[in-house]
Amino acid sequence: MDATYNLNGGFKPTTKRSADLDGPDFYPTPLWATHALIEHEQFEGDIWEPACGDGSMSEVLATTGLPVFSTDLYDRGYGNAGVDFLKSERAASNIVTNPPYNAAEGFVRKGLQNASKKVALLLRLAFLEGANRQRTLFGPCPPARVWVFSERITFYPKDAVQKGSGTTAYAWFVWDKDQSGPTELNWFPPGYKKRFDSPHYAENPMLFK
């Protein structure tokens, strides 16, 4: 676990996803959350998705036309299994993923080491908080952009019945090695969930290009 993600003796959020504690269970990223990113961020070169799960994010990233390399620590039936991102020396132009809660800061640091262009991580908006994180991460390595979701993302366990809505705010944190200066704070407009999580998209994805 990433010890720096422990604040005042407790992990945040207090109810942790079981995917962060053992291998079999995991929470796929809704398609619309990744579509929002690639509509606002341009990527060049290859993309590495190092926590690919069942490929939910990788399949959307592939619509950019760029080569996507997918790995995961656990075998979830997609990509290359058994790859520990935090120990890997593999290089990529871009690293894009939804990291485990308990290793988020480690993913940021490793991503900045291994990516030559951009690192984009889907994180809780509250990741912006914390004096230690400001001193050791955001001070020396601030993100170029933070894209805040105006719609809440709900993460469900694989194959679970989807009902209700999320209570935690999320954002895409983007580190861009070709840009310097202060962090830009932006908001995604509403509507992505309706567009890309509808049955019509699943049946005819090309209509939503």
Statement: residue 5 has pLDDT above 50: no
**Residues 66-84: tens digit of each pLDDT:** 999 999 999 999 999 999 9
Nearest residue to 98 (alpha-carbon basis) of 127, 123, 63: 123
Question: What is this structure's pTM?
Answer: 0.82
| pLDDT value, residue 15 | 39
Indicate the range of 23-27, 50-54, 124-128, 136-140 predicted with least confidence: 23-27
Mean pLDDT for the stretch of residues 140-155: 93
Task: Supply the pLDDT for residue 165.
Answer: 59
Mean pLDDT of 141-158: 87
